[in-house]
Amino acid sequence: MGVAEYFQTLVCHDLKKYGEGICRLTKAKEFLNAAAILCPLEFPRNLKSFQESVETLLVSAVKENDVIYCDVVPKYEKCEELSGFRVVKLLPFSGNFSSEETLFCRLPDFEPSEEKLLEQQASLTEEELSTRRSTALDLKTDGNELFLQAEYSAAIRKFADALNVCPAKFATDRAVLYQNRASCK
């Protein structure tokens, strides 16, 4: 708000509303001082120099008003409130966007149960575990190809299927599958 009040002061000067300009500069100084107190470490250096400029300009404006203009300085509450302003350019969006339903709302939950997976794998032989790992890696490859084609929901299903098949003892492979699935979301 301090910066906004400063720039409104420039408008006041152009409109020859010198008293209102002084009022707004005083408020700008208050806002900037409050910001410096509230966040001393994060207060940017360029705002510190701006704060000093506002103080210097305020002293100068008061002197000019006292000697030249003799304009009444109103209370801040009497000044017109600053209206909102846009700081970014609005761009038209022609895409199909619905705040109610997204792609991920329509997908079922694919989170595999680790306990169930460990139960199933407890009775498997090393050869069966190796075969399951190979199947999981094939599913991962399919998922990666779908991801490259921007078929994210299908890729998520492939990675989820791979997680359901991949033995828990292959933690690195499972971590990669989780990461790949997360990349699709």
pLDDT in tens, 23-74: 999 998 998 888 878 776 666 666 777 788 889 989 999 999 898 889 999 9
DSSP 8-state symbol, 43: S
Please classify residue 85 by burial: count the beta carbons closer than 10 Å to its beta carbon, then call 0-12 exposed, 13-18 middle and 19+ buried: exposed
pLDDT in tens, 131-172: 999 999 999 999 999 999 988 888 988 998 898 888 888 889
Q: With contact defined as beta carbons under 8 Å apart, do 147 and 183 qualify?
A: yes
DSSP 8-state symbol, 94: -
Cα–Cα separations (whole angstroms), residue 27 to 20, 60, 74, 165: 11, 16, 12, 66
Q: Is the confidence at residue 112, as pLDDT, over 70?
A: no
Q: How confident is the model at residue 103 (pLDDT cuts 50, 70, 90)?
A: low
